Amino acid sequence: MQRKLVSDGSLPAEVVDAAIISPGMIDLQVNGAIGHEVRDRPADVDAISTWLPNTGVSAWLPTIVTADEALYSRVFQAWSEIDVAVGAMPLGLHLEGPFLSAARKGAHQLRYIEAATDALFDSWLEQESIALVTLAPEREGGHRRIRHLVERGVVVSLGHTDATSEQFREGVDLGATKATHLFNAMSPVHHRDPGAMVAAMLDDRLSAGIIPDGVHAHPDMIRLAIRTKGVDRMIVVSDMMTATGLGPGTYALSGQSVRVDNISARLEDGTLAGSILTMDEAIRNLVEWGEVTPAQALHMATTVPARVLRDTTRGEIVPGRRADLTLWNDDLTVSETLIGGRRFPTREGA
């Protein structure tokens, strides 16, 4: 049974000794965690869902990085077997690729980007499990893809893009409402060619994701983005990968070897391959960097992602919303997460 928030002074209540209560956090970009990669095995998604409440996350988008066409059909088939009741709720798939810029591919495999077909995209339009798609608007067929996805109610996020500022704005004109990991895998800033980064920061129709681990972007760049767009249009994401919650070592991302140290995950050539950041760590980093208050940092991890997903059941503590809550200690560590009213105390060492 899913519980909702109500306002009734006559109901018995338990006093919870916590410094802060926030809406449950919503992570729009999770590639894997605790040794499990988001692919075509329901058990991997279930394991991540079970673990995420330890980090204050109550809902998330399992994120599929660029892969061969056969994998996507298996992913869609596996979606119906996911257990949505074990922990943080999967709200739908985030397909990050393969319709990306080869020049800004990051850790995505070029062979799958180059092999992506219109037939693959058209098969997506039949799927109800897709919540968000990251694509490059300047790629051939990009405008058509944005239009069709928007018509289907799928959130379009512009990312891994080599677009000019004009091409980027054309994508927003067509209905894109989000930018994927601002500053990363985007055409860089030049004073005569501002590129995708500047377009993303200046366009108020768009919310931008950031990975505040201090590795993907310098804290000063995060401060610049927040000052430019404001906390109402910024989204905290983790972009976490398989090694998150474990430790240094060698792991896999979409069949590629990834070396993980204490702060980052990288391919053999040094390319960043997701992060080992958790959402609670992201909140602590943002507050420590001094640009935002805890309430503002949490707003970017709760209310804004819910709004981008057009989810009117989450993201705020008001009567009628789901009882998805995160309880925080004074030091901004997570004490407990409630999901649909069900309590998930943080496990020691998780």
Which CA distances in Å does 163 have to 135, 189, 217, 272? 11, 11, 20, 21
Short-list 297, 51, 298, 305, CA closest to 178: 305
Short-list 348, 221, 350, CA closest to 278: 350
192 annotated to a ligand binding site: yes
Query: Is the pLDDT assigned to residue 5 strictly greater than 60?
Result: no
Query: Is the pLDDT assigned to residue 11 strictly greater than 70?
Result: no
Tens-place pLDDT, residues 82-130: 988 899 999 999 999 999 999 999 999 999 999 999 999 999 999 999 9
295 annotated to a ligand binding site: no
Interval 202-206 mean pLDDT? 98
Token pair listed for 285: 């980093």
Give the pLDDT band of residue 150 (cuts 50, 70, 90). very high
Cβ proximity of 134 and 100 under 8 Å: yes
185 annotated to a ligand binding site: yes
Q: Which residue has the higher pLDDT, 6 or 164?
A: 164
Tens-place pLDDT, residues 243-263: 999 999 999 898 899 999 999
Tens-place pLDDT, residues 54-79: 999 999 999 999 999 999 999 999 99
The CA distance from 180 to 239, in Å, is 10
Q: State residue 65's pLDDT score.
A: 97
Q: State residue 16's pLDDT score.
A: 65
CB neighbourhood size of 165 (10 A): 19
Interval 210-233 mean pLDDT? 98
Q: Within 13 A of 12's CA, how many CA atoms are on the CB side? A: 0
Q: State residue 255's pLDDT score.
A: 87
Q: State residue 216's pLDDT score.
A: 98
Cα dihedral sign, 153-158-164-169: positive
107 annotated to a ligand binding site: yes
14 annotated to a ligand binding site: no
Interval 127-135 mean pLDDT? 98
Q: What percent of the chain has pLDDT over 90?
A: 91
Indicate the domain borders of the chain. 25-246+273-315
The CA distance from 162 to 180, in Å, is 13
Cα dihedral 335, 22, 291, 277, rounded to 10, equals 50
- Least confident range from 6-15, 41-50, 178-187: namely 6-15
Catalytic residue numbers read 239
341 annotated to a ligand binding site: no
Short-list 192, 202, 191, CA closest to 168: 202
Interval 13-29 mean pLDDT? 85
Query: Is the pLDDT assigned to residue 240 strictly greater than 90?
Result: yes
181 annotated to a ligand binding site: yes
Query: Is the pLDDT assigned to residue 31 strictly greater than 70?
Result: yes
The CA distance from 41 to 329, in Å, is 35
Terminal-residue alpha carbon distance, the chain: 26
Computed over every residue of the chain, the mean pLDDT equals 95
- CATH number for domain 25-246+273-315, candidates 3.30.450.80, 3.40.50.9100, 3.90.480.20, 3.20.20.140: 3.20.20.140
Tens-place pLDDT, residues 255-309: 899 999 999 999 999 999 999 999 999 999 999 999 999 999 999 999 999 999 9
Give the pLDDT band of residue 8 (cuts 50, 70, 90). low
Query: Is the pLDDT assigned to residue 15 strictly greater than 90?
Result: no
Give the pLDDT band of residue 347 (cuts 50, 70, 90). confident
With b for 16 or more beta-carbon neighbours within 10 A and e for fewer, the 245-269 pattern comes to beeeeebbbbeeebbbeeebbbeee
Q: State residue 113's pLDDT score.
A: 97
